[in-house]
Amino acid sequence: AQVLFSVKLYTVHQYLNVTLFLYVFPQMIARGKNASDLFPAVVKNVACKNIEVKKLVYVYLVRYAEEQQDLALLSISTFQRGLKDPNQLIRASALRVLSSIRVTIIVPIMMLAIKEAASDMSPYVRKTAAHAIPKLHSLDPEQKDQLIEVIEKLLADKTTLVAGSVVMAFEEVCPDRIDLIHKNYRKLCNLLIDVEEWGQVVIINMLTRYARTQFLNPNINESLLEESSEKAFYASDDEEDEDKKAEAATLAKRKPYVMDPDHRLLLRNTKPLLQSRNAAVVMAVAQLYFHLAPKAEVGIIAKALVRLMRSHSEVQYVVLQNVATMTIKRRGMFEPYLKSFYIRSTDPTQIKILKLEVLTNLANETNISTILREFQTYIKSMDKDFVAASIQAIGRCATNIGEVRDTCLNGLVQLLSNRDELVVAESVVVIKKLLQMQPEQHSDIIKHMAKLIDNIQVPMARASILWLIGEYCEHVPKIAPDVLRNMAKTFTNEEDIVKLQIINLAAKLYLTNSKQTKLLTQYVLNLAKYDQNYDIRDRARFIRQLIVPTDKSGALSKYAKKLFLALKPAPVLQSTFKDRDHFQLGSLSHLLNAKAAGYQELPDWPESVPDPSVRNVEVKDSVCARRTVLTGPEESDSGSGSESASASDESGSGSESEESREETESEDEEEDEEKEKKRKKRLDKTKAKKPAEESAERCLVLPNVSCSAPSFPQRAEQWHRGQKTRQEGSEESEKCLRIRERIRKQRIRGRVGGGTIAPSGSIKMYELLHRITGEGLAVEYCFSRQPFSPDPNMVAVQIQFTNNTNSETKNLHIEEPRLQSGMRIREFTEIGLQPSGESVTVVMGIDFCDSTQAANFQLCTHTRKFFVSIQPPVGELMTPVFLTENDFKKEQGKLMGMNEISEKLMLGEKCVNEHVIVERVTATANLSRVPCGSEKECRFAGKTVSSGCLVLVTVPTKEGGAAQLTVNCEKMLIGTLLVKDIMQALSQ
């Protein structure tokens, strides 16, 4: 690999070198080697006829296509041909590479490729189409509606290979569209056992949320009984009688729960997956049963989880996280497996702490003695964090089970003599919490802890002892003043947390035993008055005014004893997993105990029964027969026969209706009608044209799209192998032309690609902020094509503000620009005041770094902020350069090969002479005319504003066999986009 990495792949043995390199490429990636420098040499072999080499090239392109977008765009036509390859692996690989090139200008191509792949005969290609859907949605969210149609079609697929992938696409694009799942619910449940493992995880998680919205809670009667018993415990006698009557009436009205057959279908079909070899599948089924199953049936997941915890050490942490949550609500299901949670010396610390959590949750009156013996052994461990967690677990057991509280307390007191300070400190903190429950019965323990304060150095432990002595100073009246005397000596050397408790102890003793502690309290308060910590100084001033009455003291000092010596409620020692069950088990949000980005909430159970008929699927015999006749049994099973034809019909009609809506809403309605008439005329003419001319006209106007590629009817004929008639092929050709015409209109209106085409001889104005959105402030901008004097590397953008409100607008300025890496912005001077009804024009500079990425920023007034963005057409990133004919040819000779983009040009009906062509080219791009001795072509030159890269354009003025539009540019992406815009302008 090291040798091949340094070999120039364009030598005589290019084919051999590329083949060997591609075979060792995966090993290079695994070792962290970067092979992106070889992209130009590898991409040349994308058209190789050897299937093995082609597959390896596609694997390479998937890895580096996003990083090398300029070069990857050159192979678009090859990928399109790959979509029609007889080999299903090549078709799938071509679609995978195409969806990996994240450039917005190829969104229409990607959309058409996904739609065609969704109707492919091969399930593997349809699966790849499902994988491409989330990629396209993240690239262009505006395509969501069309993608939902593809998802709906793929959800109806009956093959197990597609099911998991399309559900994943559903979760990424439209997880709230539950209506798409209704008719496919039973099919997904039945296919679940045969779907690949990771697809099973996705489907189970989706069906869990679906079931929570469509079925009733199977434990609803038990939850009502628990709530009623809890209310009766706290109610009085009269209220109890009333509650019993109301409860009897409620239960009488409520019908016994009967599980929905579809609910039972889901539980029955997922149960065998508890034996899966994949840990994620077992976890998914476990969370499904925990959230959906009746209480009597949940116990079956305990054995599976324990087996999973023992056999898969790498997933122990996640399993124990879920078990810890389950044991809070369903303790009984894991009690038979108590010994499985005993801690081993080889377990990592985080596993030990989670097992402690589970053991504490499982503790009850019958097994507490066994668990406490285990805890005594754990305290002897060398792992300090584990020992501290064990002591806290003992405290929780003592809190939850009153019978062992004294035993636990005595054991913790014995730990106070331990040599380890951390053990002593943790024991003090836990003892403090336990003593708050019954302090009057444990005055001896408080005295014992007071004697140990000189030997304990951990600040938290010292602070806990001082708080305990101060809180219960009346139980130890002789010891408390002596403790304060000793602490006053070391006050200046104590930690802040200890100083605060010394002040509190002094205040409490002053209120209960002022004769002995008055002077000590004043001494401590005087020391705190000059402490470096402002919290301690503030506490001292506050307490002095509160406990020492003076003439200036307020009425609050009368209630000082009630404030300081009020009864405090005993702390509640509970599990950290107590309220985590509202998160879906196994999710990242459950693991973090916080809502993570992208988390979908687990829905609440419905109060009434949803309509179960929505899941009924009616299959028409006529449709099934027609599907079998047209496509054969294989396509009938995969859902790619007549459904694809009907889907295309629906998409065609949908596009026509959408066109009509657009034409109704647009201001240029008459112009669109004229274009529609011309389109129909061209449609009639295309039937008599030669095949080569027909395919060239139907080809999308995109960079490096081969005009010799088969047309839509030819592709359909290749795929369906002559199954369709000529009449159907002509109908499909009309639909294809309608789609192409719609895409062309959208590009003209700026909905696809970088922007709109400027009219000839005018400067195009773009809307930055509509007056309705801007609450009366309308903002437009244009690219003035004038040099930006403060910085020649910036594009001058002229902005016009129009105040349509009845009041003045103040302080117009820019804030928080959000720019891509390398981009810069030069803001205009703030407009202090703009009167009502007036317009103001300013100029700002933006360095787009020779890219069509948008510059995002906030447009701010004195009252509002508006998020806006400016995205430049590629032609506005240039400035004219004046060259002679010889200089043009010389520079063009230097920019050959990879720096040249050439496309066959079909001139539009209005491009009748050279003047119109020059006018349209210069309106599209800021270029200058270069003298040319030939009448068959025009030449233009310019350079990019940011980097100064030369841009040379050669445009044919007459159509012919060699009429090629050529752009030479060092930056391939600039040249590719420029070719697309110029061809679009000249083809109309």
Report pLDDT for 123: 92
Q: String of b and e for 53-67 (b: at least 16 CB within 10 Å)? A: bbbbbbbbbbbbbee
Report pLDDT for 241: 57
Whether the pLDDT of residue 257 is over 80: the answer is no
Task: Please provide the average confidence, as pLDDT, over all residues in the chain.
Answer: 77
Half-sphere exposure of 433 (CA within 13 A, CB side): 22
Residues contacting 446, CB < 8 A, separation 6+: 435, 439, 468, 469, 472, 475, 476
Query: At 901, is the pLDDT very low, low, confident or very high (cuts 50, 70, 90)?
Result: confident
Report pLDDT for 985: 86
Mean pLDDT of 401-427: 79
Percentage of the chain modeled with pLDDT above 70: 76
Name the nearest CA neighbour of 89 among 64, 63, 52: 52
Mean pLDDT of 882-894: 88
Whether the pLDDT of residue 254 is over 80: the answer is no
Coil/strand/helix, residue 371: helix
Name the nearest CA neighbour of 146 among 735, 658, 680: 658
Report pLDDT for 204: 94
Mean pLDDT of 557-576: 74
Report pLDDT for 679: 54
Range in 297-306, 533-542, 733-742 the model is least confident about: 733-742
Whether the pLDDT of residue 872 is over 80: the answer is yes
Report pLDDT for 632: 41
Number of neighbouring beta carbons within 10 Å of residue 12: 7
Name the nearest CA neighbour of 376 among 411, 425, 416, 341: 411
Mean pLDDT of 562-569: 76
Q: Which burial class, exposed, middle or buried, applies to 749 when counting CB atoms under 10 A from its CB (0-12, 13-18, 19+)?
A: middle
Range in 290-304, 627-641, 819-833, 937-951 the model is least confident about: 627-641
Query: At 895, is the pLDDT very low, low, confident or very high (cuts 50, 70, 90)?
Result: confident
Q: String of b and e for 494-508 (b: at least 16 CB within 10 Å)? A: beeebbbbbbbbbbb
Report pLDDT for 169: 94
- How far apart CA 119 and CA 654 sit, in angstroms, is 18
| pLDDT, tens digit (0-9, with 9 covering 90-100), for 960-988 | 655 788 999 888 788 888 988 888 888 87
Query: At 25, is the pLDDT very low, low, confident or very high (cuts 50, 70, 90)?
Result: low
Whether the pLDDT of residue 582 is over 80: the answer is no
Please measure the distance between the N-terminal and C-terminal CA atoms of the chain and give it in whole angstroms: 52
Report pLDDT for 932: 85
Number of neighbouring beta carbons within 10 Å of residue 643: 20
- How far apart CA 428 and CA 617 sit, in angstroms, is 66
Report pLDDT for 927: 92
Question: Among the residues of 666-699, which ranges form H helices?
Answer: 669-686, 691-698
The two three-digit tokens of residue 203, written as one number: 């489907």
Say which residue, 116 or 620, is predicted with more confidence: 116
Whether the pLDDT of residue 863 is over 90: the answer is no
CA distances from 171 to 130, 207, 270, 323 (A): 11, 11, 20, 26
Whether the pLDDT of residue 663 is over 60: the answer is no
The two three-digit tokens of residue 276, written as one number: 């899966």
Whether the pLDDT of residue 4 is over 60: the answer is no
Q: Are 88 and 96 in contact (CB under 8 A)?
A: no
Name the nearest CA neighbour of 658 among 732, 734, 741: 741
Report pLDDT for 870: 92
Whether the pLDDT of residue 643 is over 60: the answer is no
- How far apart CA 257 and CA 250 sit, in angstroms, is 14
Range in 446-455, 700-709, 714-723 the model is least confident about: 700-709
CA distances from 486 to 481, 489, 493 (A): 9, 5, 12
| pLDDT, tens digit (0-9, with 9 covering 90-100), for 784-840 | 888 888 888 899 999 999 998 888 888 899 988 888 878 899 898 888 888 888 899
CA distances from 383 to 61, 354, 360, 782, 818 (A): 50, 15, 19, 69, 49
Report pLDDT for 716: 37
| pLDDT, tens digit (0-9, with 9 covering 90-100), for 472-481 | 887 788 888 8
Percentage of the chain modeled with pLDDT above 90: 19
CA distances from 733 to 622, 729, 738, 908 (A): 26, 6, 9, 21
- Is the backbone of residue 908 left (phi > 0), alpha (psi -120 to 50) or beta? beta
- How far apart CA 337 and CA 448 sit, in angstroms, is 40
Say which residue, 53 or 305, is predicted with more confidence: 305
pTM, full prediction: 0.56
- How far apart CA 680 and CA 672 sit, in angstroms, is 12
Whether the pLDDT of residue 408 is over 70: the answer is yes
Range in 37-51, 371-385, 538-552, 829-843 the model is least confident about: 37-51
Whether the pLDDT of residue 485 is over 60: the answer is yes
What beta strand segments (E) does 744-821 contain? 766-769, 777-783, 795-803, 809-818
In this structure, what are the phi and psi dihedrals at residue 552, rounded to the nearest 5 degrees? -85, -5
- How far apart CA 85 and CA 718 sit, in angstroms, is 9
State the greatest distance between any 2 C-alpha atoms of the chain, in Å, as a whole number. Answer: 117
| pLDDT, tens digit (0-9, with 9 covering 90-100), for 327-348 | 888 878 888 888 889 988 888 8
| pLDDT, tens digit (0-9, with 9 covering 90-100), for 107-161 | 889 999 999 999 999 999 999 999 999 999 998 999 999 999 999 999 999 899 9
